[in-house]
Amino acid sequence: MTPEFVVALGRQSVELVLMLAAPMLICALVVGLLISIFQAATQINEQTMTFIPKIVAVLVSLIIFAPWMIQKLLSFTSGILVGIATTGI
């Protein structure tokens, strides 16, 4: 196991985590932005008004993107295991 291999594996891992978290974070960002625009227009400043819709949006996006996320994670994991089996690390 070379240092280059470890660095490449770490970089791929971080990229995968960011890619898997992106759909949920983008959904929460969009919902939060829409709610803050609504609050600014109506001058309603309620803290719980932003919290619950964000949770629902993240849950819905998780349900929608779960198959894609699982496929990406399984592909990455199987690639690591095949690499271990072929190189004998």
Over the stretch 60-75, which tens digit does the pLDDT of each residue have?
A: 999 999 999 999 999 9
Domain that holds residue 31: 3-87
What is the total count of domains within the chain?
A: 1
DSSP 37: H
Q: Is the pLDDT of residue 88 over 70?
A: no
Q: Which residues contact 76 (CB under 8 A, 6 or more apart)?
A: 12, 13, 16
Over the stretch 24-49, which tens digit does the pLDDT of each residue have?
A: 999 999 999 999 999 889 988 887 88
